């Protein structure tokens, strides 16, 4: 299996100094730039499970360095994309990465938290989060908040490089403990999504990896 951000690699120091829970400063910017690259294959795989349409309104929660927004913009050519992140460094990095799209009025990047999303009920056709659920301080309540802003019939896609499974390497388990990650099993994810208000839940696991894609439909 390919190494992830949660296994011991030569990038450990970049991750530790960048503080994935709340990126700050030059170290945070360096980590976000690396994650734009290291998460690219995960994003490409996971977005294949999300039905995006050209005129959709889409939200990326925990938008980080901005690559996921850029990839979705390739499919959402007539709609509107919004990124939100509670780390100012991530907001700045995502705006810089997508400067042309922001300037053309196709995208905006906001500072805020998943715990209190500044949007009306049912505002989005689709919502995405990549490698951020680990850090949500109140997962159950935050998932209900996500469900609130997804329109009826809309979808929420959660992507993660790891999930709770028996075959995780010890080095990865150590990272989960070190960074105090919330890391549910696939069955736990399904229960969390249904409890939050998603009437349909699909779980996808990537063969040869530890990746998970969870799709909830309102």
Whether residue 48 is contained in a domain is answered as: yes
**CA-based nearest residue to 57, from 158, 151, 145, 143:** 151
Per-residue pLDDT at 27: 85
Whether residue 3 is contained in a domain is answered as: no
Whether residue 77 is contained in a domain is answered as: yes
Whether residue 216 is contained in a domain is answered as: no
Whether residue 31 is contained in a domain is answered as: yes
Sheet holding 200-205, edge to edge: 107-111, 80-85, 57-61, 124-130, 150-160, 212-217, 200-205
Per-residue pLDDT at 14: 46
Domain that holds residue 75: 12-180+191-210
| Residue numbers in the chain where pLDDT is lower than 70 | 1-19
Per-residue pLDDT at 108: 98
pLDDT tens-digit readout, 101-136: 999 999 999 999 999 999 999 999 999 999 999 999
- Strand stretches in 18-139, DSSP E: 57-61, 80-85, 107-111, 124-130
Whether residue 2 is contained in a domain is answered as: no
Per-residue pLDDT at 216: 98
Query: CATH no. for residue 203?
Result: 3.40.50.150
Q: Return the SS3 of 130.
A: strand
Q: Tell me the C-alpha distance between 146 and 73, whole Å.
A: 21
Q: Find all residues with CB under 8 Å of 193, minimum gap 6, and list them.
A: 143, 156, 201, 214, 216
């Amino acid at each position: 299996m390919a190494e992830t951000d949660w296994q011991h690699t030569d990038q450990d120091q970049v991750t530790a100094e960048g503080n994935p829970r709340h990126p700050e400063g030059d170290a945070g910017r360096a980590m976000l730039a690396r994650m734009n690259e290291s998460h690219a294959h995960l994003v490409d795989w996971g977005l294949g499970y999300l039905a995006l349409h050209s005129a959709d309104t889409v939200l990326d929660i925990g938008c980080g360095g901005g690559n996921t927004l850029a990839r979705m913009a390739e499919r959402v050519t007539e709609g509107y994309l919004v990124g939100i992140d509670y780390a100012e460094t991530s907001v700045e990095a995502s705006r810089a990465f997508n400067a042309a799209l922001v300037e053309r009025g196709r995208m905006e990047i906001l500072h805020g938290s998943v715990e209190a999303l500044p949007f009306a009920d049912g505002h989005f056709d689709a919502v995405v989060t990549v490698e951020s659920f680990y850090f949500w301080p109140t997962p159950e309540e935050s998932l209900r908040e996500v469900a609130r802003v997804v329109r009826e019939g809309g979808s929420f896609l959660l992507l993660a490089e790891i999930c709770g499974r028996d075959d995780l390497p010890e080095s990865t388990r150590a990272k989960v403990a070190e960074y105090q990650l919330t890391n549910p099993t696939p069955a736990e994810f399904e229960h969390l999504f249904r409890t939050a208000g998603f009437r349909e839940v699909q779980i996808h696991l990537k063969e040869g990896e530890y990746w998970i894609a969870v799709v909830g439909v309102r």
